[in-house]
Chain A
Amino acid sequence: MRRVMVPVLWVLLVMSLSYAGYFGSRHLEGGLLQSWMACFFGTTYFLSIAFGTLYVYIAARLRGANLPQCILASLVNPSIWMTKEVLRLTESHPFLESLYWFLNPLDLWLLSFVIMEMGLATLMVRTILKQKGEEVIVFTMGPVVTVLGSLTFAVSIYAWGEGENIYVYFLEGYRLLFGYGL
């Protein structure tokens, strides 16, 4: 458990500090420090959410975690961010409707990135192990298809009307399930 939790907690720490730094910077009333903090912590916040999986998966794998453990560990931090966003919506919307936010296009995009990173991380771990003298085949069907498939999906949902079209269907789904929200 420890071999999985440590990398997860490291990314969560970066994510939390970045969140605090990014939003906290707004209380500085402008100036260079505010601007620097917003840029720096905005970047680390984004990286921790969108690319934290890459680190978590590689670190967990190198620490000896098996495949299911690595997959679960990779999903923890993105799920925390997505859940935070859902909880945020409960300020205005009923809980059930807020849960629907899990299906928003940005989350789908993030998940496809996370899956791509898992495939990519597998290839990177194999490369590292090979360099350490282990006998492993780096490129196999599984991770290569995972990387290409998820990347294609991520690019496609953006390319299709810059994400607007899928958002339209997301709203259609909402109305189908919840009506007009009144």
Chain B
Amino acid sequence: MLILLAVFLTCTAAQAVAGAGEDRPNLVFILGDNHNARTMGCVGHPFIKTPGMDRLAREGILFENAFNTTSLCSPSRASILTGAYANRHGVKNNHTPWTGQMKTFLAHLSAGGYATAFIGKWHMPGKGLPKMPFLDLFVSYTYREGQGAYFNCPMIVNGQEVRSRVPYITAEVTDYAIEFMQKVQAEPEEGRRPFCIYLSHRPGHPPFKAPDGIAGMYAEADVSRVLPSHADPLWYGKTKGNVFQGVMMGSYENKYRKYCETLTAMDQDIVRLLEEMDAMGLAKNTVVIYMGDNGMQWGTHDCHGIREAYEDSLRLPLIVRAPGLIPDPGSNRRQMVLNIDMAPTFLSLAGLGVSSAMDGQSLVPVLKNPEAHGRENFLIEFWRYFPENTPSYTGIRTDRFKYIEFARGRSPWLFDLLNDPLEMHNLMGTPQGDKILPQLKDRLAQLIAR
């Protein structure tokens, strides 16, 4: 019965977005980098301008409780592509190579009749870029460990190294995305395939460099409402548990301002992409999703970075615009959703069966119904990544508690997120902690064994 219901939901989802019912929706997935979930205009950030994301949130759904399962770039990206936890897809840190042992949702979509494009930051270890012949377009870069460069980044287009065509990286990859949409739309209507674009951006990653017109726009911005009161005004003093402790030159506040500028630069190209879709008449039949690969801590808990198991690192910005599917555009969802949910969501939207190899769940039921039942907990994993000073850890997050066990160097963490959302009071060894701990340990063991 449940299977029948799932098939029904899948089919109706594909039809709802298509509108007329004869076409499957186009899918555009936009991935940000190190994007702290609170750093968008639509969630009330005091100064950042993100009209593109704000528009998506107005016309779609903003997820308030989106998380990654491994808070590090490469593992999270592999989880997004495969729908699997890192312990299954094998990319455990930024050194472990992508093996291709698990099929990506792009491969599934391609086999299911979609024109597929991967454009932008791949950033998974290994020799060069992987072979993905099923893609209609593969644009990426391997420059500087796959991080690329903000300006004049050498690109690799379908295996051929080419020079950048425009200076700034977000404009460059967005141009490729627009051209891909135009190319697919130029195909004869009969037999034209729906498309899926995976558009992966660099902004949010240091060194934070914005293009002319945006660079410096937040130079005078008041950061006092977003950075902790102890953020260094003069020194880029990455604190406890971080690289180059305490002696990096440069104002922490200015670093944050520049970080915001790069996000605005990315958003500018999201606006352009959405406007191009409007002009091509694609908006009504295209699902657009914006998400980050992981969050980022800006001084909270004396930490800077993406790896600690605090909320600022684990939480993701996630916005879904799915015309015809969402009954209440412009609203929020509170269900816990994950990066591993992206792959099953895309397959579901495309009317394809969700692979049993995937750990994630389709977001379609939650998109369609604000009251849909969400997940109760999820597994948090992290493998140490030299030279970053965070030990390997495993943990569980429920809608109320977070419990983290470290492989070495630290005692466990247990936070009551309902009463202590800033995670200031470790409950380990307290009566409340002792009471809840066995249950959390049991659930964690179940998640690991699954």
Which residues of A pack against B, CB within 8 Å? 19, 22-23, 25-26, 28-31, 34-35, 38-39, 42-43, 45-46, 49-50, 85, 88-93, 97, 100-101, 104, 106, 161-162, 164-165, 168, 171, 174-175, 178-182
A25 near B384 (CB under 8 angstroms)?
A: no
Which residues of B pack against A, CB within 8 Å? 92-93, 95-97, 125, 144-145, 147, 207, 228-230, 232-235, 237, 239, 241, 244-247, 249, 302, 383-392, 408-410
Q: Contacts A88-B245, A101-B387, A181-B95; is A26 near B239 (CB within 8 Å)?
A: yes
Q: Which residues of B contact A88 (CB under 8 A)?
A: 245, 389
A180 near B95 (CB under 8 angstroms)?
A: yes
Q: Contacts A23-B246, A91-B408; is A29 near B232 (CB within 8 Å)?
A: no
B234 near A43 (CB under 8 angstroms)?
A: yes
A89 near B387 (CB under 8 angstroms)?
A: yes
Please, how many angstroms separate the alpha-carbon atoms of A50 and B247 in the complex? 9
Please, how many angstroms separate the alpha-carbon atoms of A104 and B409 in the complex? 22
Query: Which of the residues B144, B230, B244, B385 comes within 8 Å of A26, measured between beta carbons?
Result: B230
Please, how many angstroms separate the alpha-carbon atoms of A92 and B243 in the complex? 12
6 more contacts with CB within 8 A, not counting A34-B230, A161-B144, A182-B93, are A23-B239, A42-B234, A93-B384, A164-B147, A174-B386, A181-B384
Please, how many angstroms separate the alpha-carbon atoms of A45 and B230 in the complex? 17
Query: Which of the residues B147, B229, B244, B249 comes within 8 Å of A29, measured between beta carbons?
Result: B229
A180 near B230 (CB under 8 angstroms)?
A: no
Which residue among A34, A45, A46, A165 has the maximum number of chain B CB atoms within 10 Å of its CB?
A46
Query: Which of the residues B228, B229, B246, B409 comes within 8 Å of A31, measured between beta carbons?
Result: B229
Q: Which residues of A contact B92 (CB under 8 A)?
A: 180, 182
Q: Contacts A45-B247, A181-B95; is A91 near B409 (CB within 8 Å)?
A: yes
Q: Which residues of A contact B237 (CB under 8 A)?
A: 22, 38, 42
A38 near B235 (CB under 8 angstroms)?
A: yes
B386 near A97 (CB under 8 angstroms)?
A: yes
Query: Which of the residues A38, A50, A85 comes within 8 Å of B230, measured between beta carbons?
Result: A38
Please, how many angstroms separate the alpha-carbon atoms of A25 and B239 in the complex? 12
Please, how many angstroms separate the alpha-carbon atoms of A82 and B236 in the complex? 18
Please, how many angstroms separate the alpha-carbon atoms of A180 and B96 in the complex? 6
A181 near B233 (CB under 8 angstroms)?
A: no
Shortest distance between the CB of A64 and any CB in chain B (Å)? 32
B246 near A22 (CB under 8 angstroms)?
A: yes
Please, how many angstroms separate the alpha-carbon atoms of A46 and B97 in the complex? 37
A91 near B232 (CB under 8 angstroms)?
A: no
Of all chain B residues, the one with the shortest Cβ separation from A97 is B386
Q: Contacts A23-B246, A49-B247; is A92 near B302 (CB within 8 Å)?
A: no
A19 near B246 (CB under 8 angstroms)?
A: yes
Smallest CB-CB A-B distances: 5 pairs: A30-B229, A42-B235, A91-B409, A180-B95, A92-B391
Which residue among B233, B246, B249 has the maximum number of chain A CB atoms within 10 Å of its CB?
B246
B385 near A181 (CB under 8 angstroms)?
A: yes
Please, how many angstroms separate the alpha-carbon atoms of A28 and B230 in the complex? 8
Name 19 interchain pairs, CB-CB below 8 A, sorted by A.
Answer: A29-B229, A30-B230, A38-B230, A38-B237, A42-B234, A42-B237, A45-B247, A46-B235, A85-B245, A88-B389, A91-B391, A92-B384, A104-B387, A164-B144, A164-B207, A171-B145, A181-B385, A182-B93, A182-B383
Query: Which of the residues B235, B247, B389 comes within 8 Å of A39, measured between beta carbons?
Result: B235
Shortest distance between the CB of B92 and any CB in chain A (Å)? 6
Q: Contacts A22-B246, A85-B245, A91-B408; is A39 near B233 (CB within 8 Å)?
A: yes
Q: Which residues of B contact A45 (CB under 8 A)?
A: 246-247
Please, how many angstroms separate the alpha-carbon atoms of A101 and B228 in the complex? 30
Please, how many angstroms separate the alpha-carbon atoms of A182 and B228 in the complex? 34
Q: Which residues of A contact B249 (CB under 8 A)?
A: 46
A26 near B386 (CB under 8 angstroms)?
A: no
